[in-house]
Amino acid sequence: MAQLIPVEEFDLVIFGGTGDLSMRKLLPAMYHRDRAGQITAGSRIIATGRAQMSQEAYLQEVEAALRTNLDEGEFTDEQWQIFSPRIHYVQCDALAVDSWQDLKAVLQGFEQRIRVSYLATPPSLFGPIAAGLRHNELITPDSRIVLEKPVGRDFASAQDINTQVGECFPENQIYRIDHYLGKETVQNLLALRFANSMFEPMWRRSAIDHVQITVAEDLGVGGRIEFYDRIGAMRDMVQNHILQLVCLTAMEAPASLDHDAVRDEKIKVLRALRPIGGDFVRTNTVRGQYTDGAIKGQTVSGYMSELGEKQSSTETFVALKLEIDNWRWSNVPFYVRTGKRLKTKHSEIVVQFQDVPHSIFPEQKFNINPNRLSIRLQPDEGVKLSVMVKEPGPGGFDLRPVSLDLSFEETFGLRYPDAYERLLMEVLRGNPALFMRRDEVEAAWHWVDQVISGWEASNQKVENYVAGSWGPTAASLLLDRDGREWYADV
C-alpha cells in the first residue's frame, strides 16, 4: 500500500475560486487529501473570485459542491468541521490594480511557507495574474504557479503566455497541468513499460502493427458550450491529453524518473510527429459533430440545438492517423480518436501486435487474432492482454482469443484518487515531473496548429454523427482504408 506522507504547511491560493473547476475538482480533491490525513494543520486554501461574497456564503457553496461531487458517504459533518476552517474567501479582481489589498493582507506574515497560486481561469488571465502577483510582492522564494490547460489557443498565444508568466516565475516554479498525467493508469503505463523487461523488445516496429488511442466521452459540452465552441475537440483534447498519451506510449526509456529526463523523452516524440499538411489533412484526419441521438436509452440533443440557432462548424470529435518518424515507430501508425456524446465513457490505449508470420493451423488460418495489449484508463482501470488458446475439448483444434485481464480495482481493492488529488500534492511537494514544460506545450501547439491550418485552408467540413454512436463513418473509413478497425472493448 502506498505510504501517505503529509505535505508541509502551505497556502494554496486559487484564482477562479468560484468557478466550475474549483467546485468540481480542486476543492473535492483537497477534501479527499485532508480526509486521508495528508494536509498539515495550519495549511490554508485561499479562494479568490471577482464576486463580493461573504465567507459564510462561499462556504455554503463549497459544502453544496462537495455534497454533489463526492461519492456517497464521503462527505461527513466531522470531516467538514476539519476542512472548512482551512478555506478563506477573498475578493480579488486580478485585472483591477487596487483589488489586491485583501489578498495581500491575508498572505502577509506567511512568507515562509509554501505558496501555490493555482490559476483556474481562462488563459488570457495567466499573464496578468502572474504580473499582479509580482507587482504586489506576493511571490515568495517558495512560490509555485499552476496553469490550467489550455495554455493558449495556438502556438503564438502559448508563447506569449509562457513569456509573460516566465517574466515573473522561473520555469522550475511553473506547473502546467494536464490532468491526464495524474491518472493512475497513465502512470501505470510507465510502470508497465519500464518496470517489466518483457515488453521492451516487442515495443517497436518489428513486433507492433499499430496503436490505437480512444478517449470517448458520453457527456456533451454542457454549460461550457460558449467556451467550447471557440476551441473544439482538437484544442480541448488532442493538443494536450491525447498527445501526452502518444508521448508516454512512444517515448524511449528515460534514464531516470527525474522530471527533466521524462520530459526530454516526451518532447522527442512530439518533434518526430510527422506534420499532417496538404492532401494528408483530408486522408489522415476526420472532424465530426454530434446530432440528436440517444445514449443509454436517454434522448439527447445535437450540438447545434444545444448552441441555439447559431450555426457552428466546431468539431466535437476528431480522429487522426499519426506517424512518428523515428527508428522505433517507422510505419507503425498511431490512430487516435476523441469525441463528446459517444456511445459510452471509455478511454483506452490498444497496442496491436503483428499477425503470426506463418500459421501451422491451416484450418484456422483466418481465426488467429493478433495479440492486443489494452491499457484501460476509464471507466475501470486495468490492463488486458488478448492471446489465442485452444478451446478445451477432446477432438479438433479450435482456437479462440481469451484475455488475461487485470482490473486494478479488483486487484488492489482501493479507491482510485482523482488525478487532481495527486497533481495538487505533487505541486505542494515541488515535483514537476507530471507537469508540462514550456517547450512541450509549444511543440504540441506547433504540431496541432498545422493540422488546424490545413482544415481551414481546405475548408474541411465536420461530418455529422448521431449522439450515442462511435463517431462519423469517416472515422471508420480512416482505418478501413488500411485494412484495420477500431476496437472498443465495452
Distance CA 414, CA 410 (A): 8
Q: Which is nearer to ligand BG6, 88 or 149 (CB)?
A: 149
Cα 132-133-134 angle, rounded to 5 deg = 90
Length of the chain (residues): 490
Per-position DSSP letters for 281-332, written without gaps between them: HHHHEEEEEEESEEETTEEE--HHHHHTT------SEEEEEE-B-STTTTT-
| Residues 212-240: b if buried by 16+ CB within 10 A, e if exposed | bbbbbbbebbeeebeebbebbbbbbbbbb
Q: Which residues bind ligand BG6 (CB under 6 A)?
A: 149, 217, 236
Which residue has its beta carbon closest to ligand BG6? Answer: 236
Shortest approach of ligand BG6 to residue 380 CB, angstroms? 14
Catalytic residue among 179, 210, 241, 346: 241
Helix (H) or strand (E) holding 429: helix 419-429
User: What ranges in 70-177 are assigned the alpha helix state H?
Assistant: 77-83, 101-107, 126-135, 155-166
Tell the residue number behind the cell numbers 460558449, with chain if given: 226
Strand, coil or helix: what is 15? strand
Q: Which is nearer to ligand BG6, 236 or 421 (CB)?
A: 236
**Contact assessment for residue 32 and residue 417, using Cβ atoms and an 8 Å cutoff:** yes
Tell the residue number behind the cell numbers 466546431, with chain if given: 314
Shortest approach of ligand BG6 to residue 115 CB, angstroms? 26
Tell the residue number behind the cell numbers 517515448, with chain if given: 251
Cα 279-283-285 angle, rounded to 5 deg = 105
CA 264 to chain centre: 19
Active site residue 259: no
C-alpha cell of residue 167:
517574466
Beta strand 372-378 with 382-390 is antiparallel
Is residue 180 packed enough to be buried (19+ CB in 10 Å), middle (13-18) or exposed (0-12)?
buried
Q: Which is nearer to ligand BG6, 149 or 437 (CB)?
A: 149
**Contact assessment for residue 21 and residue 49, using Cβ atoms and an 8 Å cutoff:** no
Q: What's phi and psi for 122, nearest 5 deg?
A: -60, 150
Shortest approach of ligand BG6 to residue 264 CB, angstroms? 25
Shortest approach of ligand BG6 to residue 276 CB, angstroms? 22
Shortest approach of ligand BG6 to residue 185 CB, angstroms? 11
Q: Which is nearer to ligand BG6, 319 or 332 (CB)?
A: 319
Distance CA 214, CA 237 (A): 11
Q: Which is nearer to ligand BG6, 133 or 177 (CB)?
A: 177
Distance CA 86, CA 425 (A): 16
Strand, coil or helix: what is 213? strand
Cα 36-37-42 angle, rounded to 5 deg = 140
Distance CA 247, CA 332 (A): 14
Shortest approach of ligand BG6 to residue 334 CB, angstroms? 19
Shortest approach of ligand BG6 to residue 367 CB, angstroms? 35
Is residue 3 packed enough to be buried (19+ CB in 10 Å), middle (13-18) or exposed (0-12)?
exposed
Q: Which is nearer to ligand BG6, 281 or 425 (CB)?
A: 425
Q: Which is nearer to ligand BG6, 84 or 301 (CB)?
A: 301
Shortest approach of ligand BG6 to residue 149 CB, angstroms? 6
Shortest approach of ligand BG6 to residue 69 CB, angstroms? 13
Distance CA 423, CA 220 (A): 26
Beta strand 317-322 with 174-176 is unpaired
Q: Which is nearer to ligand BG6, 149 or 438 (CB)?
A: 149
Q: Which is nearer to ligand BG6, 236 or 442 (CB)?
A: 236
Would you name the residues annotated as active-site residues? 241
